[in-house]
Amino acid sequence: MFKDNLAKRKTFVKRLPTGKVYRGKLKNAPVTSPPPKLFETPKSNRKKRLKKKAVIYFFMSLALVVVGVGVWNYFRLSLPNYDLALGEKNLISPLPVDSEAEPRKEKSLKDKIVEQLNPDLFLPKEFKEIEEGIEIVSTEDIHVVFSLTKEVTEQVTSLQAVLSRAKIDGKKIKRVDFRFDKLVVEYQ
């Protein structure tokens, strides 16, 4: 069939070394092979394209695996009480199972202060509750007023620093008050 069409056209196509295409008429020449394809890519380019496609498919499949693992981990970590393998919830109580377990009692401000005080610097003798805090009198007759609104550890740390400084300077403290923005210290 191809030979018949070529014979009817009676033309041939030749590619010149300059790259131009030359079309001419056949002069009673027998047709032995089909004319060369005009837009055929060389085999070396075809191999490069195949390699390029293989690399692209490899990285696309790798990206798909990474995204899949990421989604799986997201759901696994966002649902900590849900077992994906069993499809049921595993409820774990953070509280002990003992029915006799007593609820924790919160320490009072007085207990927190006494616990943090250094007995070498300040030994409490008497406690009085006042409007905005607690007044503690030491064995050395130093009156200290702790605020309810401020952090206990900061107040105790400041008190110990003031008492140490007064001991170094040789001064006797009469009263320390933490209820105000700035520390109030009265000396004798």
Per-residue pLDDT tens digits for 103-150: 666 777 788 888 888 888 888 888 888 888 889 999 889 999 988 888
Q: What is the pLDDT of residue 64?
A: 95
Mean pLDDT of 49-75: 90
Q: How far apart are CA 102 and CA 92, in angstroms?
A: 20
Q: What is the pLDDT of residue 50?
A: 87
Q: What is the pTM of this model?
A: 0.45
- Where residue 55 falls among pLDDT bands split at 50, 70, 90? very high
Structural domain count, the chain: 2
Q: Which residue has the higher pLDDT, 125 or 30?
A: 125
pLDDT, averaged across the chain: 76
Q: What is the pLDDT of residue 109?
A: 75
Q: Which residue has the higher pLDDT, 118 or 54?
A: 54
Q: What is the pLDDT of residue 83?
A: 52
Within this chain, do residues 143 and 182 fall inside the same structural domain, yes or no?
A: yes
Within this chain, do residues 113 and 179 fall inside the same structural domain, yes or no?
A: yes
Is 24 part of any domain?
A: no
- Sign, CA torsion 171/138/120/176: negative
Sequence-distant (6+) residues with CB within 8 A of 143 are: 135, 136, 137, 174, 175, 176
Within this chain, do residues 127 and 183 fall inside the same structural domain, yes or no?
A: yes
**DSSP character at residue 139:** T
- Location of structure tokens 């400041």: 158
**How many residues are listed for the chain in this entry?**
188
Sequence-distant (6+) residues with CB within 8 A of 99 are: none
Is 101 part of any domain?
A: no
Q: What is the pLDDT of residue 1?
A: 46
